[in-house]
């Protein structure tokens, strides 16, 4: 996909379900294919490559005010705002120019340190960035890497040189935080166990192999794990800077069946793409 619009004239980066406001735009085959893809693979980190500005933009792109049809440009922050700012800064500071925060044109905004909250820049409904995060727990950052929306092919080598280190450093962040397995008492993986970090309401799920990953900055955390037919567990753990924390969890069968608590469930791994 080289542009945001498909052959039917639909903007594909305004075509996803939205957390804050009902998106009434008719779903498109391209969007449905992407949704199906990310529902099957537990992506943990995503960089969405765009043109038209020089900034790393992080969720939320939309705002609760959108429910009332107002679109004031003010920050709309996620429970993982510390991580999103960190990921955005990793990209911007390793880019040849982005962290300078210089406006592309006199009439366009300058972004401090080369990063911005999406809604603080301009609110939008139906973007992939918020969908990835809210529905599947994937940490997606929109990477606006060129002032020119559609740069000529002969400039591509320069863009590669400007972004090479940023891309490598950004993808390496997928190895930060906590990772492990959720198993039953016999050592069998538990698929689709629901997990969240206490105080961070956007959760995620295990793979069919019982695997999970979550990007976190150094600190003390508590993991909350739920699975149908098992007794829930809370586990405290520490994340350090040098390497990911390995945390394997065993769940015991529940004596009496209780419904799995409902919170936003998600999944993860690494992804790169280019839409917007």
> Catalytic pick from 30, 112, 140, 144?
144
96: three-class secondary structure by DSSP: coil
Rounded Cα distance, 192 and 194, in Å: 6
Rounded Cα distance, 275 and 47, in Å: 10
Closest of 223, 250, 227 to residue 237, by C-alpha: 223
197: three-class secondary structure by DSSP: strand
Q: What share of the chain is helix, strand, coil (3-state, %, to 5)?
A: 30, 25, 45
Burial annotation 178-202 (CB, 10 A radius, 16+ → b, else e) = bbbbbbbeeeeebeebbbbbeebeb
221: three-class secondary structure by DSSP: strand
Active site includes 161? no
Closest of 116, 92, 4, 11 to residue 50, by C-alpha: 4
- With beta carbons less than 8 A apart as the criterion, state whether 41 and 268 touch: no
What are the angstrom distances between the C-alpha of 117 and each of 89, 225, 230?
Answer: 12, 30, 39
Residue 40: cis peptide before it, omega within 30 degrees of 0: no
Rounded Cα distance, 179 and 217, in Å: 13
Residues known to be catalytic: 144
């Amino acid at each position: 996909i080289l542009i945001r619009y498909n052959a039917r004239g639909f903007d594909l980066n305004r075509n996803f379900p939205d957390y804050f406001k009902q998106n009434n735009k008719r779903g498109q085959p391209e969007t449905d294919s992407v949704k199906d893809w990310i529902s099957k693979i537990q992506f943990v980190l995503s960089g969405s490559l765009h043109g038209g500005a020089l900034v790393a933009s992080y969720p939320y792109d939309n705002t609760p005010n959108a429910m009332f049809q107002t679109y004031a440009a003010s920050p709309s922050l996620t429970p993982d705002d510390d991580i999103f700012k960190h990921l955005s800064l990793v990209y911007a500071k390793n880019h040849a120019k982005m962290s300078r925060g210089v406006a592309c044109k006199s009439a366009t905004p300058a972004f401090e340190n080369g990063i911005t909250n999406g809604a603080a820049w301009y609110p939008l409904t139906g973007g992939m960035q918020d969908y990835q995060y809210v529905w599947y727990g994937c940490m997606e950052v929109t990477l606006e890497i060129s002032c020119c929306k559609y740069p000529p092919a002969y400039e591509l080598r320069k863009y590669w040189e400007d972004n090479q280190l940023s891309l490598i450093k950004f993808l390496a962040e997928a190895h930060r935080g906590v990772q492990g397995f959720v198993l039953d008492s016999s050592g069998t993986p538990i698929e689709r166990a629901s997990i969240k970090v206490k105080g961070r309401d956007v959760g995620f799920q295990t793979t069919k192999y019982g695997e999970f990953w979550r990007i976190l900055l150094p600190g003390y955390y508590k993991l909350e794990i739920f699975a149908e037919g098992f007794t829930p567990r809370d586990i405290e753990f520490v994340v350090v800077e040098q390497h990911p924390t390995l945390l394997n969890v065993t769940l015991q069968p529940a004596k009496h069946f209780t419904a799995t608590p409902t919170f936003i469930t998600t999944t993860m791994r690494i992804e790169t793409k280019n839409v917007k």
